Amino acid sequence: MTTTYDNLMQLDFPDVHDTYSERDTMFYALSLGVGNDPVDPNQLRQVYEKNLCPLPTMCVTLAHPGFWPKELNTGLDHGRIVHGGQQLRLHKEMPSCGEVIGRSKIRDVIDKGEGRGALVYFRRELYLAESNELLCSMEQTLFCRGDGGMGGSGNSINPSQSIPSRKPDYEIDHELLPQSALLYRLNGDMNLLHADPDIARKAGFDRPIMQGLATYGVAGLALIETLCENKPAALKGLNVRFTAPVYPGESLCTQIWQLDGGAAAFRVSVPKRNVVAIDNGRADLGLG
């Protein structure tokens, strides 16, 4: 079965209700490596229930409809889909625990042509169940490598944040634990690519790879540490383009450039392999 632009735009996603606890909030931070210094008060605020401060990037793990390209029988070549980019915008400060409702839709499809794939922009909004207030808006860019020629809106690709040519204002190193991917998948991403060596080899990797959203979370940590005075709620938006896989146990370097208007550009690299894993990153900040 193949698909068309109209079929995708008409997909009906049921609401997803999700409840998360303070324990889930602490585990999310631990899965990113927070707590490697267990007496650092800034790290403890994210992994200890006293004055617990959730990381806003945890929103990407909540109330997701699952692997919908396959489960909703979309006709997409789901085995060839890769996560090309991620956007997050916080509209309210995230509670340390609660119930949220996820509401999803396809926002747009950009057809790159027969044999060249297509970009599918998948939008998800989280609402606080108790008040029905909008907590955050998210958008995934899915690169559907096997689905070019389906038709599209004719609109242009989302613009990317340019990276300044000057030296970065900050460089933050972060060493991933060897078991990082195994820990992070317990946040809800149970893709076997991140756990099973045989499946990873069949996909062309010599071992299981990190989840892109885990690398995304590490970038968020670097920005909170350098530009947000270690206040997670000051991170209001985080947009990235994924460019290369990361392996558990690797050391990452997040380079950050401050921009005008309370924003920053950033990229994440793996210096040992001279690879850029996240590029064209933009963060929007607010300490007020």
In which residue ranges of the chain is pLDDT below 70? 1, 287-288
Q: The tokens 């690797």 sit on which residue?
A: 250
- Dihedral sign for Cα 76, 78, 79, 82, please: positive
Model confidence pLDDT, tens digit, residues 66-111: 889 888 889 898 888 889 999 999 999 999 999 999 999 999 999 9
pLDDT at 67: 87
Most distant CA atoms of the chain, gap in Å? 55
Mean pLDDT of the chain: 94
Q: How far apart, in whole angstroms, are the C-alpha atoms of residue 10 and residue 17?
A: 22
Q: Tell me if the pTM is above 0.85.
A: yes
pLDDT at 288: 56
- Dihedral sign for Cα 58, 59, 63, 64, please: negative
Q: Which two tokens stand for residue 149?
A: 């020629």
Q: Are 20 and 100 in contact (CB under 8 A)?
A: yes
pLDDT at 159: 87
Q: How far apart, in whole angstroms, are the C-alpha atoms of residue 233 and residue 230?
A: 9
Helix, strand and coil in the chain, % to nearest 5: 25, 30, 40
pLDDT at 190: 84
Q: Which two tokens stand for residue 46?
A: 């994210």
Q: Are 224 and 133 in contact (CB under 8 A)?
A: no
Backbone region of residue 39 per phi and psi (left: phi > 0; alpha: psi in -120 to 50; beta: other values)? alpha
Model confidence pLDDT, tens digit, residues 26-66: 999 999 999 999 999 999 999 999 999 999 999 999 999 98
Q: Are 5 and 109 in contact (CB under 8 A)?
A: yes
Q: Which long-range contacts (CB under 8 A, 24 or more apart) does 259-265 make?
A: 259/164, 262/286, 264/223, 264/227, 265/161, 265/162, 265/163, 265/164
